[in-house]
Homo-oligomer: A and B are copies of this chain.
């Protein structure tokens, strides 16, 4: 089974990451110290919750040519689930399996600017999945990533 029955991250597309982060912080949430300029990560006992701009997500997923262009897929939902793998080879195998099952590959896997390897697929209804290897996010025995360094107070 090239794509395990789990996911490691959900990205919620937002208009303004700082404003969205402030909203979730008003709930008492604390972002991970792994959060970077333009991307906020919240650790949970399960998958990480990421806040990122919807246009950047559309471009990253291969659905828009640049962040000023509308997504080419009419069904773009501004949300993506992700499955992290221990290796690049597993990412390639996942995308091949996805396509074999009838899913669409919206972006073949490529090296990313953050030092990882990632590609995207859409299921037949347009639900977006990222398949990624992030060497900085080791996976535990459940296949869940843990962000070292704790949370911002």
Contact = CB atoms under 8 A, between A and B. Distances in A.
Interface stretch (A65-73, A84-92, A109-117, A119-127): A119-127
Contact of A102 (B13, B15, B26, B97): B26
Nearest to A31: B5
B124 A27 contact: no
Contacts of A103: 23
Q: How many identical chains are in the complex?
A: 2
Give the interface size bracket for A toward B: 35 or more
A7 B101 contact: no
A46 interface: yes
Given A3-B28, A144-B45, A20 B124 contact: yes
A23 B7 CA distance: 16
B143 A23 contact: no
A89 B101 CA distance: 43
A58 interface: no
Contacts of A44: 5-7, 46
A20 B79 contact: no
Interface in A42-63: 42-47, 49, 54
Interface in A105-153: 123-127, 142-144
Contacts of A30: 5
